[in-house]
Structure 1
Amino acid sequence: MNNQIMKSFLIKELNLNKYENIKITAIGGITNKNYLILTKKMKLVLRVPGVATENFINRHNEKNNSELVFKMGINPETIYFDTISGIKITQYIPDSETFSPGLVRKKNNIENISLCFRQLHQSNIKFCNEFNAFSEYKKYQHILNLKHDHDGIYHNKMLVEFFYKTEKILDRLNKDRCPCHNDLVAENIVKSGDKIYLIDWEYSGMNDPMWDLASHFLECQFNSEEEQIFLTYYFESNIPKESKQKILLFKFMQYVLWPLWAKVKEQYDDNFEKYDINRFKNAYQFMRQYQEQYEK
């Protein structure tokens, strides 16, 4: 979508004057393309979905869940959302700063972000869907099989067997279900003053809250000391025994699941940057760590 097409689209959908001066600036994005939109009276963000995202994302769920967390005050207001194309327009967060992994790990930010996560997880809202890592894994494997892609590392018997074993392990642990974001990379966390916002709810759904913490720790490169600080704030110093066990399991699962997602994405988008294969290899380390700590 070039700038002229975007301008025509914005004039139509936002009911703007056709002579309105609209400034469009690309502001990045990993899977999607995002643009800052400036008009005389508005400052917005336009999200144009990446190639083949319809194979991964249920836009009806995303729209519903985004609206619920907006009412909580942790997501910007959605101005326009097309559940067919996935094109979305949201209000720009004023004085906003998007985090990097390094900024996320600063102590004052750890506290504020942990409180935002807790606010989400302890809320009484109900998302319309469940995020199930095992169903997602089967879906991605099915797509790769249809594409006749059988790269060995993505079909490693030992990792696949342990991945499915985690389902039985989790059944024995305390099962929690609450609204979760499920993709808490640093870029999906925005700061405005002392206020924290979570954006891009594409993978949101009811899930165990420790999945969100595992996601955040992995993607933002927390060390063990930083994880402990985060957990202390999140649990108000009363850290449940099974929380660290679940976080370790979810780290393993995410290092199996997301590289598989990336492999599927590569099938449709030649320009998609290849996912770090070492992440998949690191799943071995988490598997071994879990077995040494909890299966002896």
Structure 2
Amino acid sequence: MRAEDKVRGLSCWAGPVTVEPLGGGITNRNFVVTDATRRAVVRIGDDIPVHQIMRFNELAASKAAFAAGVSPAVLHHEPGALVIDFVEGRTLAAEDLQQRPMLEQALALVARAHREVPRFLRGPALVFWVFHVLRDYAGTLHDGNSRHAPLLPGLLDDAARLEAAVGPIDLIFGHNDLLPANFLHDGQRLWLIDWDYAGFNSPLFDLGGLAANNGLTAGDEDWMLQAYFGRVPDAALWRRYRAMKAASALRETLWSMVSEIHSELDFDFAAYTATNLTTYRAALAAFEESHG
């Protein structure tokens, strides 16, 4: 069944519907639907085991995030489809988050999600441990005869060093995919969207991802760590943070490598891999230069 036909056939609509593709997604097929009473966003996608995406988890996290006041409401769900309240606004670009006022809003929203979402979470919960994800991605790439297979031994060695540097962690409930397009601004406030990868994690992963995915400066990072933790970051915190930032960039790189051979979406994953590999190498160099 075509994705658009599945959208039209959902049981939640009142009367005839208009269906418009919503661009920008690189994991799911998304649509804006208007019926007689409302507008909604529909996300079409089944479980994606190679990316450890489980839709029961996305649904539970999305409901909890709405209850926590950080995400739009879940209106309906059926197997392979999630219907979310439409919020008029625009998704951010990295350049938006490089501006301190917007970064302040984003960090406050992420911190609120870390604190509040687990209070409303129901049912089984997943852990998102990036170093397990990296090892699993490496196995998937090896099994799929990826063109990137020669890089894997070195990247896994890097990952082992980074995991050791991260050390013991505090546990929060993370979004774990803080790309700029997962922030939506309605003209008054920010919303956090797309909980595909949600799970318990270290806060450093979301902070590192926010920095790596949005090109934050060292000054931005210093401000971010002080604001989040309420203290001036010491050398130990910087070491753990820079290690997790590099791991976050490596995860996005391997995610793209896996998508090159498994995704059916029309997207230039090869170019995305190259961009993220450059980001990762810069993050790893910053870690090694500062901490050896």
Give the TM interval when normalised to the shorter protein.
0.7 to 0.9
Is the contact made by 2:256 and 2:273 (CA closer than 8 Å) also made in structure 1?
Answer: no
Alignment CA distance shift 1:43-1:114 (3 Å)? same
Residue 14 (1) aligns with residue 15 (2) = no
Give the letter aligned to residue 121 of structure 1.
H
Question: How many Å apart are 1:206 and its aligned residue?
Answer: 0.7
Selected match of 1:280 from 266, 277, 289: 277
Distance in 1 (CA, whole Å) between partners of 2:4 and 2:166 is 48
Letter in 1 for 2:249: Y
Name 1:204's counterpart in structure 2: 198
* C-alpha distance in structure 2 between counterparts of 1:182 and 1:156, whole Å: 25
Residue pairs, 1:118-197, within 5 angstroms: 118-123=111-116, 125=118, 128-149=125-146, 151-157=148-154, 159-171=155-167, 174-197=168-191
Percent identity between the two aligned chains: 20
RMSD value, Cα: 2.4
Amino acid at match of 2:177: D
Residue 41 in 1 paired to residue 37 in 2?
yes
* Number of aligned residue pairs: 281
TM-score norm. by structure 2 comes to 0.86
Cα distance, 1:203 vs structure 2: 0.7
Q: In 2 relative to 1, CA 4–117 (structure 1 residues): closer, same or farther, beyond 3 Å?
A: closer
Question: How big is each residue's C-alpha offset from its partner over 1:23-70, in whole Å with a ceiling of 9 and x where there is no partner?
Answer: 2112211222211111221110011238x8343211121111211111
Change in 2 beyond 3 A, CA 1:225/1:144: same
**Does residue 89 in structure 1 map to residue 83 in structure 2?**
yes
* TM-score, length of structure 1 as denominator length: 0.85
Q: Structure 1 residue 156: deviation in Å? A: 4.2
Question: CA offset at residue 215 of structure 1?
Answer: 0.7
Q: How does 1:232-243 map to 2 (within 5 A)?
A: 232-236=226-230, 238-241=231-234, 242-243=236-237
C-alpha separation in 2, matches of 1:124 and 1:25? 30
Is the 1:154–1:260 contact (alpha carbons within 8 Å) kept by the matching residues of 2? Answer: no
Q: What residue in structure 2 maps to residue 258 of structure 1?
A: 252
- Tell which structure's C-alpha radius of gyration is larger: 1
d(CA) in 1 for partners of 2:285 and 2:96?
A: 30
1:113 maps to 2:106: yes
Question: Is the 1:75–1:197 Cα contact (8 Å) retained in structure 2?
Answer: yes
